[in-house]
Amino acid sequence: MVCLVVAFFVSDLPERIREYFINPEEILKKTRWEWDRSKDFNFYRENLKPFRVDKIDLGKFASKFIFRSKDRELFRRRGPLGSPFVLAPQRNLILFVAYDSWSNGATLEAYSTSTGGLMWKTLLKGVGNIDHSKYSNRVQMRLEPPHYAIVFGNEMAGRYTEIVDTRTGQTVAHRKEIVEMIIK
């Protein structure tokens, strides 16, 4: 009798096969909500080479971002000073989180790195609808291989972690922590 044992690491598999072994709910369980205070209300970008982003201040809390490739404008987007965006090179996308710092909610948008066209956009689940006149909202994001964007929201009514599949724009996992709102 011959017994054959095959051992492999999921990380050694090609991406199209590896993705079948990755469960977004498991990623969410292992992901702690995180916040980098250095990115609050500061212009930041991660992983954007060879692209360039110019920022034009529109006042105390808003900016216009102009995304360029080889001195050719791809697209423009308006957002708060700390608007997060990252390059997802394996998908040829630039991901941008659109939100207002004075109201709840956010939308994750994916733009083509070749044409600058909007490929998809997803309204994030966040903490849900909150109706209030005094509000605070901030969002940060990072990529999780092979094809997920993890969005961290920090709103007055709570905080959330949301995982979006960059291939489809669909939310695949979501967790929120609600806090009591006390506004004076």
For the chain (length 184 residues), average pLDDT per consecutive 10? 49 49 74 68 55 77 81 85 75 84 81 92 82 72 86 86 92 83 49
Q: Is residue 7 part of a domain?
A: no
Query: Is the overall model pTM greater than 0.85, yes or no?
Result: no
User: Which pLDDT does position 117 carry in this prediction?
Assistant: 94
Q: Is residue 58 part of a domain?
A: yes
User: Which pLDDT does position 164 carry in this prediction?
Assistant: 93
User: Which pLDDT does position 8 carry in this prediction?
Assistant: 44
Q: Is residue 74 part of a domain?
A: yes
Q: Return the structure tokens found at 82.
A: 């700390």
**Domain span at residue 170?**
13-178
User: Which pLDDT does position 184 carry in this prediction?
Assistant: 46
Question: For residues 22 and 136, what is the distance between their CA atoms, to the nearest angstrom?
Answer: 34
Q: Is residue 5 part of a domain?
A: no
User: Which pLDDT does position 168 carry in this prediction?
Assistant: 92
User: Which pLDDT does position 180 carry in this prediction?
Assistant: 60
Q: Is residue 114 part of a domain?
A: yes
Non-local CB neighbours of 90 within 8 Å, separated by 6+ positions: 15, 145, 146, 147
User: Which pLDDT does position 43 carry in this prediction?
Assistant: 45
Q: Is residue 4 part of a domain?
A: no
Q: Is residue 152 part of a domain?
A: yes
Q: Is residue 59 part of a domain?
A: yes
Structural domain count of the chain: 1
What is the CB neighbour count within 10 angstroms for residue 95?
A: 22
